[in-house]
Amino acid sequence: MTGGALELQKEYALRFEPHREYRQRVWQVLCSHFFARLIPPDARVLDLGAGWGEFINNIVAAERLAMDLNPETASRLAEGVRCLQHDVSLPWPLPDGSLDVVFTSNFLEHLPDKGKVQLAVTEAHRCLRSGGRLICLGPNIRFLPGAYWDFWDHHVPLSDRTICELLQLTGFSIERSVPRFLPYSMSQSSVQPPLALLRLYLAWPLAWRLLGKQFLVIGRKP
């Protein structure tokens, strides 16, 4: 196991293990009450920087793939999810136009520099079919100028505006941009609100403007 892979394992265990069960329940709600509207059940979906697979394990799709360097990812995935242990900034082991959706959550800011982020987005564009979607969710530095850096492995400052610009430079059109979507670190803190409140929150976009600290940007490949 490489030093980088071992470090990933340690970071995930330190950050997520205490809240693992709650995180799973949160993502069940997010997938069923929001992201399922964006992802057809017959789609081929890749979770980019899948981590422990909370998104890809809970989304309904015809084919589900998870890409991450963490060697523990494979053991965390649900039955039927294919794991690609791969550096996302290198050419992906997938054919051109072979995906319907690429989803990434709280991942791009962990890449070592902007060049790596651009390479990953370029590969997503290559692998998506015409009309395919890239769905990006992440902490918005415009609303988290200090707390953004509380995580040791946050390297790249990103906002809804920078992601929109990068996607357009890479060949995507912007289908939707929400500067304030989810609260920050909602499934990592010791405070665990009832999931009924999360369902209400997703159904009431006005609350996003008050509490949202993460962006949601959806790009479409023309």
Write out pLDDT tens, residues 88-128. 999 999 999 999 999 999 999 999 999 999 999 999 999 99
Residue 88 belongs to domain spanning: 3-220
Specify the pLDDT at position 193.
84
One-letter amino acid at 198 equals L
Question: Can you tell me whether residue 59 is helix, strand or coil?
Answer: coil
pLDDT, averaged across the chain: 91
φ, ψ of residue 178 in degrees (nearest 5): -120, 105
User: Which percentage of the chain shows pLDDT scores above 90?
Assistant: 80
pLDDT at 151 over 70: yes
Which of the two residues, 10 and 40, has the higher pLDDT score?
40
pLDDT of residue 147: 87
Q: How many domains does the chain have?
A: 1
DSSP string of 14-37, one letter each residue: HHHGGGHHHHHHHHHHHHHHTGGG
pLDDT above 60: residue 6: no
Packing angle between helix 114-127 and helix 160-170, nearest 10 degrees? 50
User: What's residue 66's pLDDT?
Assistant: 98
Supply the pLDDT for residue 1: 45
Q: How far from chain centre, in Å, is Cα 134?
A: 10
Mean pLDDT of 148-175: 95
pLDDT (mean) for 49-64: 97
Condensed to tens digits (0 to 9), the pLDDT of residues 179-213 reads: 999 998 754 556 788 999 999 999 999 999 999 99
- Which CATH number fits the domain that encloses residue 11? 3.40.50.150
Please report, rounded to a whole number, the percentage of residues in the chain having pLDDT higher than 70: 89
Burial class of residue 15 in the structure, from the number of CB atoms within 10 Å of its CB (0-12 exposed, 13-18 middle, 19+ buried): middle
Instruction: Give residue 7's pLDDT.
Output: 60
Per residue in 21-48, pLDDT (tens digit) is 888 999 999 999 999 999 999 999 999 9
Contacts of 169 (CB under 8 A, 6+ apart): 118
